[in-house]
């Protein structure tokens, strides 16, 4: 559980870079051209989203708000990044694309962009709203940022033993006791691997591998396992998920070096059967309504000027110090390295 002490620790750290220079760009009233898009989207009647943030409560809330505003039904297919990448690739190869919008990590989105998976979204009224360093690039829109920390079981980990640094995970007391998202496949584990390898060198992971971490792909299924005491430590932990674990004997920690983070992007699939609804949804992701839903769930918003409307607890999570993010050009090389270290 996110305690007051840890909230204060988070708040005391350097503020998140994007929030350093908030610049509010108001949502624009729809012009005639955009009204035609809305009308066409309504005729399409539905939009299908392929979501790599498996189990997160944020996106269903955003989609419900979208449905409420436009009356367009949404469908969601959730799977890990690697599975989604293969699914849409097979659909496009078979000429039967079922999904319209991708909602996935920036690393996999960049890889898919290079594969030619997406099409430009054209004009979006809200495309200019993301603040630096975030920017919609004509094909991808930056929706929010996830940061990663460590989750510990407070019954098993005494305050004096809590990892204060990522390197504290190398302490012998954690041997065989670390649960982790699989670093050998695309996802949070891969983000953690790449960022910490770039910052601490591969020796960090060679030593971490000697700790025999238990890796799987169950993501949110792992949190209750830590809470129940099967493992005292889980890393990397999606910090915003701490808001869902109230009442459980767990605590989210942010190591002093900062948190690895990944941006979540939206994009339209090539061959999407409902391109207008897809454009409308992409634009909605950058609206005040959607951004505040993400913000109040602890995610870093990409649109500035809304921080004052976010709850204190969620804002504290979003203001965590950042360690770094992934470079898509290095992804394949890093996954290969991870597989060689974590056999």
Q: Which residue of 68, 160, 172, 247 would you call a contact of other proteins, by CB under 8 A?
A: 247
In DSSP terms, which residues pair with 179 in a beta bridge? 214, 234
What is residue 133's three-state secondary structure?
Answer: coil
Buried b / exposed e over 157-183, threshold 16 CB at 10 Å, is beeeebbeebbbbbeeebeebbbbbbb
Q: Which residue of 24, 171, 173, 228 would you call a contact of other proteins, by CB under 8 A?
A: 228
Near other proteins in 197-216, by CB under 8 A: 214, 216
Near other proteins in 261-290, by CB under 8 A: none
Least separation in angstroms between residue 288's CB and other proteins is: 26
DSSP-H helix ranges across 155-231 = 188-200, 202-210, 222-228
Q: Which residue of 1, 27, 91, 199 would you call a contact of other proteins, by CB under 8 A?
A: 91
Task: Name the residue among 150, 157, 147, 154 with its Cα closest to residue 248.
Answer: 154
Task: Name the residue among 80, 78, 18, 56 with its Cα closest to residue 325.
Answer: 18
Q: Retrieve residue 66's tokens.
A: 């979208």
Packed helices 58-70 and 32-44: angle between N→C axes, nearest 10 degrees: 110
Q: Which residue of 18, 52, 99, 105 would you call a contact of other proteins, by CB under 8 A?
A: 99
Q: Which residue of 16, 62, 63, 80 would you call a contact of other proteins, by CB under 8 A?
A: 80
Least separation in angstroms between residue 67's CB and other proteins is: 11
User: Which residue in this structure is represented by tokens 């129940």?
Assistant: 228
Least separation in angstroms between residue 220's CB and other proteins is: 4
Q: Which stretch binds other proteins (CB under 8 A): 25-33, 289-297, 310-318, 330-338?
A: 330-338
Interface positions with other proteins (CB under 8 A):
48, 50, 54-55, 75-80, 82-83, 86, 89-96, 98-99, 182, 184-186, 214, 216-225, 227-230, 247-248, 331-332, 335
């Amino acid at each position: 559980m996110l305690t007051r002490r840890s909230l204060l620790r988070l708040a005391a750290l350097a503020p998140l870079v994007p929030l350093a220079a908030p610049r509010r760009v108001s949502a624009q009233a729809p012009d005639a051209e955009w009204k035609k898009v809305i009308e066409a989207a309504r005729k399409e009647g539905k939009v299908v989203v392929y979501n790599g943030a498996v189990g997160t409560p944020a996106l269903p809330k955003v989609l419900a708000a979208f449905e409420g505003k436009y009356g367009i039904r949404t469908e969601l297919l959730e799977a890990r990044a690697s599975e989604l990448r293969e699914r849409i690739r097979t659909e496009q190869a078979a000429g039967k694309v079922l999904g319209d919008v991708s909602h996935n990590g920036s690393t996999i989105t960049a890889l898919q962009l290079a594969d030619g998976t997406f099409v430009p979204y054209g004009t979006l009224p809200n495309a200019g709203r993301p603040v630096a360093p975030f920017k919609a690039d004509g094909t991808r829109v930056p929706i929010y940022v996830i940061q990663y920390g460590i989750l510990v079981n407070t019954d098993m980990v005494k305050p004096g033993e809590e990892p204060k640094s990522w390197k504290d995970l190398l302490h012998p007391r954690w041997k065989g006791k670390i649960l982790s998202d699989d670093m050998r496949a695309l996802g949070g584990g891969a983000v953690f691997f790449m960022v910490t390898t770039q910052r601490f060198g591969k020796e960090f992971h060679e030593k971490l591998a000697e700790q025999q971490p238990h890796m799987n792909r169950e993501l949110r299924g792992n949190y209750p396992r830590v809470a129940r005491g099967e493992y005292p430590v889980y890393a990397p932990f999606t910090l915003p998920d701490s808001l869902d674990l109230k009442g459980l004997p767990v605590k989210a920690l942010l190591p002093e070096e900062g948190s690895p983070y990944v941006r979540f992007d939206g994009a339209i699939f090539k061959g999407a059967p409902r391109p207008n609804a897809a454009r409308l949804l992409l634009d909605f992701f950058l609206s005040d309504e959607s951004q505040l839903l993400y913000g109040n769930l602890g995610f870093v918003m990409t649109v500035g000027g809304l921080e004052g409307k976010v709850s204190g607890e969620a804002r504290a999570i979003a203001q965590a110090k950042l360690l770094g993010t992934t470079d898509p050009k290095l992804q394949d090389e890093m996954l290969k390295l991870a597989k060689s270290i974590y056999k």
